[in-house]
């Protein structure tokens, strides 16, 4: 078979693993503990999901305190990030697993000579938490994490940087995403998009080229067809 002339770029949270409900629970706990009230699913999915954790920590918890007039400093904000992430890893660890069909699909792409990258808003610690359990690290030629970009999703920087690392033009890349911010990022980069319905319905995951429930529905040929349209 001729080597496909496209590259595959993957988000991590909600895309390689179905961990979004556990991130939501950890954010809820942080909001409650530090007097930010209840966090609704609607707010989480629209404003937090797919955005770098520190970005949200600064926005929600970095404002000046009422009595002192001083906001939390960077060390305090980093401590909040660590607290949130440690709780997430604690509650998700027993359930950490790849989304159905992922490993077979990645193997198919690799065997076909498709270059792959990860473009995620996650921290290095969270990436290691996942990839130390699921043996897919070597499938990715490039991994772009939150610390490697200056403009978070929905800005296209993370996926443009991943494409550059693979030496592939954006128009020859397909992005796999579950979040609205991530889909906007991929569209802003001028790439094909496959939405996975772990966090949103097919109707909400728009505009995309294809929506899947899991990777058992995909083949290399099915993705290659997207570049013939």
pLDDT tops 90 at residue 229: no
What pLDDT score was predicted for residue 3? 63
For residue range 17-69, list pLDDT tens digits in order.
999 999 999 999 999 999 999 999 999 998 998 888 998 999 999 875 444 44
The CA radius of gyration of the chain, in Å to the nearest whole number, is 18
Q: Mind giving me the DSSP string for 12-43?
A: -BTTTB--HHHHHHHHHHHHHHTT-----HHH
Q: Are 195 and 175 in contact (CB under 8 A)?
A: no
Q: Give CA–CA dist 164/145, Å, rounded.
A: 14
Helix spans in the chain (H): 20-33, 41-43, 53-61, 74-92, 102-111, 124-131, 157-166, 180-188, 220-226
- Residues carrying CATH 3.40.50.1000, the chain: 7-18+98-226
pLDDT tops 80 at residue 163: yes
Task: Tell the CATH superfamily of the 20-94 domain.
Answer: Putative phosphatase; domain 2 (1.10.150.240)
pLDDT tops 60 at residue 146: yes
Instruction: Please state the pTM of the whole predicted model.
Output: 0.90
Residue 4, phi then psi, degrees to nearest 5: -60, 140
Q: Which residues in 151-176 are b (16+ Cβ under 10 Å) and which e?
A: ebbbbbbbbbbbbebbebebebbbbb
CATH number of 7-18+98-226: 3.40.50.1000
User: Mean pLDDT over residues 154-161, rounded?
Assistant: 97
Q: What count of other Cβ atoms lies within 10 Å of the Cβ of residue 53?
A: 22
- Residues carrying CATH 1.10.150.240, the chain: 20-94
For residue range 195-225, list pLDDT tens digits in order.
999 989 999 999 999 999 999 999 999 999 9
What pLDDT score was predicted for residue 67? 47
For residue range 78-136, list pLDDT tens digits in order.
999 999 999 999 999 999 999 999 999 999 999 999 999 999 999 899 999 999 999 99
| CA 158 from centre of chain | 10
For residue range 164-194, list pLDDT tens digits in order.
999 999 999 999 999 999 999 999 999 999 9
What pLDDT score was predicted for residue 128? 97
Q: Give CA–CA dist 83/57, Å, rounded.
A: 11
What average pLDDT does the structure give for the chain?
Answer: 93
What pLDDT score was predicted for residue 51? 87
């Amino acid at each position: 078979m001729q080597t496909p002339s496209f590259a595959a770029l993957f988000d991590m949270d909600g895309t390689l693993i179905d961990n979004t409900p556990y991130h939501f629970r950890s954010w809820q706990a942080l909001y409650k503990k530090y007097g930010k009230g209840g966090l609704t699913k609607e707010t989480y999915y629209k404003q937090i999901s797919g955005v770098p954790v520190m970005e949200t920590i600064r926005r929600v918890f970095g404002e000046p305190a009422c009595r002192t007039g001083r906001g939390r400093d960077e060390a305090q904000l980093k401590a909040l990030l660590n607290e949130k992430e440690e709780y997430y890893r604690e509650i998700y660890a027993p359930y950490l697993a790849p989304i159905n069909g992922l490993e077979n699909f990645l193997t198919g792409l690799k065997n076909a000579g498709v270059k792959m990258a990860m473009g995620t808003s996650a921290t290095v610690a969270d990436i290691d938490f996942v990839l130390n359990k699921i043996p897919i690290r070597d499938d990715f030629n490039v991994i772009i994490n939150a610390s490697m970009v200056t403009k978070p999703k929905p800005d296209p920087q993370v996926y443009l940087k991943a494409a550059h690392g693979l030496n592939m033009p954006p128009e020859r890349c397909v992005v796999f995403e579950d979040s609205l911010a991530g889909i906007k990022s991929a569209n802003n980069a001028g790439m094909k998009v496959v939405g996975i319905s772990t966090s949103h319905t097919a109707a909400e995951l728009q505009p995309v080229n294809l929506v899947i429930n899991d990777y058992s529905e995909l083949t290399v040929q099915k993705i290659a067809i997207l570049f013939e349209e």
